[in-house]
């Protein structure tokens, strides 16, 4: 959902009615059904246990796009979070404000068939299927809340550093387990191509997660990731939430960014 600066989008988010219901079309529900069926089959043995537990708690519909009020009921019960309807793209300030208030932004549109395999913008499938299951987990929810509060108080330059922390954890994080690597990043969990690539390809680098290194690592949003950071234990998210992240940001500024492991975008 990070999107600064704002850019144009072909998508327009739907708005709920007075009862909190979004009236999705049959075509939109069909796209959800196809995306859900394809992705959920890939996740056993690849997604982390905490995500699979959250997916079970949410009991997402396979046949139609879930209503946010039903997601909210579970999130509020488990961790005190809820969703927030937002346009297709929002700025950093709106993004951080929502997270700081335990509201997860959900763009209420779904990709069309032309963008079925890849969509650069976060749609309702990415947000609900990719991210909401882990928001039932206290460690993940607390980390995301802390991140939102830090970002809301940060200046423009520092937000750029914080964006890297979010990218390499919440969006594209991998977790070490006794059974091998597992996925907890929503950007991977909602992408069939990246699900295979992140775990099985020999192309990307995979480094142990050190927050100072993450803050110094450039990324691109429109390619398969050239590197991933590995979380040693899921509860390390608790430890990171208690760190002085902004002190690490200041240290990262002094050390400068690492050379990117990708070709710069024209």
What does the pLDDT look like over 62-93, one tens digit per residue? 999 999 999 999 999 999 999 999 998 899 99
145 is an annotated ligand-binding site residue? no
Q: In which residue ranges of the chain is pLDDT below 50?
A: 3-6
Whether residue 11 contacts residue 88, with contact meaning beta carbons closer than 8 Å, is answered with yes
Nearest by Cα to 25 from 108, 94, 81: 108
For the segment 208-247, what is each residue's pLDDT rounded down to a tens digit?
A: 999 999 999 999 999 999 999 999 999 999 999 999 999 9
Domains of the chain: 26-254 (1.10.800.10)
Q: Is 120 exposed, middle or buried (0-12, 13-18, 19+ CB in 10 A)?
A: exposed
Tell me whether residue 251 is annotated as binding.
no
Q: Is the separation of the CB atoms in 85 and 15 below 8 Å?
A: yes
Among candidate residues 187, 182, 178, the one with its CA nearest the CA of residue 200? 182
Q: Kindly report the backbone phi and psi dihedral angles of residue 213, in degrees, each rounded to the nearest multiple of 5, phi listed first.
A: -70, -40
Q: Is the peptide bond between 131 and the residue preceding it cis, with omega within 30 degrees of 0?
A: no
Whether residue 131 is annotated as binding a ligand: the answer is yes
């Amino acid at each position: 959902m990070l999107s600064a600066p704002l850019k144009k989008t072909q998508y327009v988010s739907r708005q709920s009615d007075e009862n909190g219901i979004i009236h999705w079309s049959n075509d939109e529900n069909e796209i959800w059904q196809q995306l859900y069926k394809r992705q959920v089959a890939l996740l056993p043995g690849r997604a982390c246990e905490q995500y699979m537990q959250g997916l079970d708690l949410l009991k997402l519909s396979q046949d139609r796009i879930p209503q946010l009020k039903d997601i909210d009921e579970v999130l509020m019960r488990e961790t005190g979070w809820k969703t927030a309807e937002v346009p297709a793209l929002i700025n950093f300030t709106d993004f951080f404000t929502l997270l700081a208030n335990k509201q997860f932004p959900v763009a209420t549109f779904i990709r069309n068939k032309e963008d079925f395999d890849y969509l650069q913008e976060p749609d309702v499938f990415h947000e609900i299927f990719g991210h909401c299951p882990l928001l039932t987990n206290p460690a993940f929810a607390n980390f995301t809340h802390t991140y939102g509060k830090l970002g809301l108080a940060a200046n423009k330059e520092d937000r750029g550093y914080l964006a890297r922390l979010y990218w390499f954890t919440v969006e594209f994080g991998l977790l070490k387990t006794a059974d091998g690597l597992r996925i907890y990043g929503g950007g991977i969990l909602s992408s069939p191509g990246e699900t295979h690539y992140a775990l099985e390809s020999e192309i990307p680098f995979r480094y142990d997660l050190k927050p100072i290194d993450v803050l110094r690592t450039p990324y691109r949003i429109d390619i398969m990731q050239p590197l991933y950071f590995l979380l040693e234990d899921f509860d390390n998210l608790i430890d990171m939430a208690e760190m002085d992240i902004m002190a690490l940001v200041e240290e990262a500024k002094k050390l400068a960014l690492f050379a990117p492991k990708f070709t710069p975008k024209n």
